[in-house]
Amino acid sequence: MTDHNVAVGVLVSGTGTNLQALLDAEASGSLGPAAIQVVICNNPGAPAIARAQAANKTTHVVDHRGRSRAAFEDALLEALGAVDLVVLAGFMRVLTGHFLQRFPSRVVNTHPSLLPAFPGLDAAGQAIAAGAAISGVTVHFVDTTVDGGPIIAQAQVPVLPGDTPAALHARIQVEEHKLLPRVVVELASRIARDRAART
Ligand code: GRF
C-alpha cells in the first residue's frame, strides 16, 4: 500500500454481497484511492468471511457473544488498526460513541430503505406493509442512533404490486451494490485530497 491509498475497514455480519461489490470494484480498479485493508465479521459462520478470504483480504472474526459491548468495540478497534474509513456492509450490531469517537464522520452504513423511512430490521417488509410506492437504499454516516445519521446518498427503487419483502430487497440490493462503492470512492477521494492539502 502506498501513501496514496485510503485504507478501508469493512464490517460484515452475513451474506456479504455488499462486501463483494466493494471487492469487485477494487479488483477492477474502480474503487478510486480506496484500498480494502481488513474485513471484520462478528458472526463466525457468515459467508462474508469466505468472500474476503477469496480476495486475499486480512480477515478477523470478532464475536460479540460473550463480550461486553465495550470489550466487543475495543476488539473491533484493535482489529481495524489505523484505517481511514470504516464501512458497515450488512453489519448487524449497533455501535456506541465509544467506537464512533475514534472515527469521526468516517463510519458509513448502507440501509435498504429511503431513510428516514423504515429504519431498523426488515426495511423492505416495512415498506410493503406501509403501502409505499417507492423505496430504495440509503448510504449514511453512522451516529449513535439506529440508521439515523446524516444521509450521504440514496437511490430509489419502485415497490411493485405483489412484491414480497425478499423480492423487493433483492431489487434494492441491485442498486445498493452500485451506490455503496460509488460513495466509498467519493469519501476516499475526499480523504485523499484533504491529506494532500495538508502536506
Ligand atoms: C443489506 O441489504 C444492507 O443494506 C442491510 O443488510 C443487507 C446485507 O446484505 N443492512 P449483504 O450481507 O451485504 O449481502
- Per residue in 108-137, pLDDT tens? 999 999 999 999 999 999 999 999 999 999
3 has pLDDT over 60: no
Q: Quote the mean pLDDT of the chain.
A: 96
- Give the nearest ligand 1 atom to 110 CA: 4
- Give the nearest ligand 1 atom to 14 CA: 12
1 has pLDDT over 60: no
Q: Yes or no: say if 35 and 1 are a contact pair by the CB < 8 Å rule.
A: yes
Q: Yes or no: say if 139 and 99 are a contact pair by the CB < 8 Å rule.
A: no
C-alpha cell at 87: 464501512
For atom 6 of ligand 1, which residue has the closest CA?
90
Q: pLDDT tens, 64-82?
A: 999 999 999 999 999 999 9
Strand order in the sheet with 134-141: 58-61, 34-41, 6-12, 85-88, 107-111, 134-141, 151-158
169 has pLDDT over 80: yes
Q: Which residues lie with the beta carbon below 6 Å from any ligand 1 atom?
A: 14-18, 48, 89-90, 110-112, 173, 176
CA distances from 141 to 50, 106, 145, 157, 159 (A): 27, 7, 11, 21, 25
Whole-number percent of the chain with pLDDT over 90: 97
For atom 1 of ligand 1, which residue has the closest CA?
90
Q: Note the pLDDT of residue 4.
A: 74
Three-state secondary structure call for residue 2: coil
Give the residue numbers annotated as catalytic, written as ranges.
111
- Give the nearest ligand 1 atom to 173 CA: 2
